[in-house]
């Protein structure tokens, strides 16, 4: 057996891993709606992103940390793939919603999950008090660091997720958004074990007819934190496209009239901690 230090992949049997993608273009025709997944919230990412990155960059029982939990896609997939999980979400109603999801999974799992293998925390992912609560959850799991960091922040103000001023989707301008995003990256990176990986899911946006390369700006901020870029994956957008450029006649007209192209992609960027 020739196993990597950060995954369960046995390189001596590499031909058997056809279900694990290694190309940088991901064409996903539809969201996976099995294993507890559902399209129940605007802005959530497809479960296949979690599936592929967990299989590549974690082992069973490793701890995944998601600092922008949303409706809990990353948590559900952690349970399905037998990973442990810590998720942080700013909105209390979403925290309660994801906790209810995990309780439903407990019935199928046959063992308690919440407060043991899965910790769902309400908090601001830019604040040190949140980092302290994550450390407390890790201590309860017998760990001192997480093994994979997932970052799926709002794409600035494309979708307003709440009225909370601390919500990144309410950042008054792009520099403020990027500064707050960088704070969350620094917080998460400090909790990540050396040599382990970060998954950033991000897209670009338009503002008043101008392309704002949000993905590349966030990429640059991750580099400033000291993370090593490993890959940029381009993923197609299918469904759940509000605000991203839906391929309707109206959007086609706007694209033709404005001289731009409709967004049909976003990025999955992989970094490694030194």
- Tens-digit pLDDT string for the chain (274 aa): 899 999 999 999 999 999 999 999 999 987 666 655 455 544 567 899 999 999 999 999 999 999 999 999 999 999 999 999 999 999 999 999 999 999 999 988 788 999 999 999 999 999 999 999 999 999 999 999 999 999 999 999 998 999 899 999 999 999 999 999 999 999 999 999 999 999 999 999 999 889 999 999 999 999 999 999 999 999 998 754 444 445 457 888 888 999 999 889 999 999 999 9
- Whether the Cβ atoms of residue 191 and residue 128 lie closer than 8 Å to each other: no
Q: Locate 267 and state its tokens.
A: 């990025």
What is the pTM assigned to this prediction?
Answer: 0.92
CA separation for the pair 22, 18 (Å, rounded): 9
CA separation for the pair 30, 47 (Å, rounded): 10
Q: Which of 107, 58, 117, 55 is nearest to 87 (CA)?
A: 117
- Whether the Cβ atoms of residue 200 and residue 244 lie closer than 8 Å to each other: no
147 Cβ contact list (under 8 Å, min separation 6): 6, 58, 59, 62, 63, 64, 192, 193, 196
**Host H or E run for residue 255:** helix 249-258
Map out the domains of the chain with their CATH numbers.
Answer: 45-272 (3.40.50.150)
User: 3-state class of 210 per DSSP?
Assistant: strand
3 Cβ contact list (under 8 Å, min separation 6): 9, 10, 11
| pLDDT confidence of residue 111 | 85
- Local structure of residue 44 (DSSP, 8 states): P
CA separation for the pair 6, 273 (Å, rounded): 12
Give the strand pairing for 265-272 and 228-236: antiparallel
CA separation for the pair 217, 178 (Å, rounded): 8
CA separation for the pair 64, 56 (Å, rounded): 13
**Host H or E run for residue 230:** strand 228-236
Cα distances (angstroms) measured from residue 197 to each of 4, 24, 183, 188, 274: 13, 17, 18, 11, 9
């Amino acid at each position: 057996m020739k196993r990597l230090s950060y995954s369960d992949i046995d390189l001596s049997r590499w031909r058997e891993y056809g279900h694990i993608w290694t190309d940088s273009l991901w064409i996903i025709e539809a969201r996976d709606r099995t294993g507890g997944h559902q399209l129940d919230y605007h802005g959530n990412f497809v479960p296949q992103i979690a599936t592929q990155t967990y299989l590549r960059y974690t082992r069973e029982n490793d701890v995944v940390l998601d600092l922008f939990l949303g409706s809990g896609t990353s948590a559900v997939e952690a349970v399905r793939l037998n990973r442990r999980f810590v998720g942080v979400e700013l909105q209390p109603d979403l925290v309660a919603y994801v906790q209810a999801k995990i309780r439903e999974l407990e019935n199928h799992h046959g063992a308690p999950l919440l407060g043991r293998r899965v910790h769902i925390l309400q908090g601001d992912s830019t604040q040190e008090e949140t980092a302290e609560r994550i450390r407390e959850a890790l201590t309860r799991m017998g760990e001192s660091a997480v093994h994979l960091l997932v970052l799926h922040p709002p794409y600035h103000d494309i979708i307003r997720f709440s009225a909370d001023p601390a919500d990144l989707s309410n950042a008054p301008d792009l520099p403020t958004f990027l500064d707050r995003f960088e704070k969350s990256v620094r917080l998460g990176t400090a909790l990540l074990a050396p040599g382990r990986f970060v998954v950033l899911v991000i897209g670009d946006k338009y503002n008043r007819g101008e392309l704002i390369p949000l993905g590349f700006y966030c990429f640059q901020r991750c580099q400033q934190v000291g993370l090593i870029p490993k890959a940029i994956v381009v993923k197609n957008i299918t469904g759940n496209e509000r605000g991203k450029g839906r391929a309707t006649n109206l959007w086609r007209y706007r694209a033709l009239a404005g001289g731009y192209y409709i967004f049909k992609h976003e990025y999955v960027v992989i970094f490694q901690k030194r």
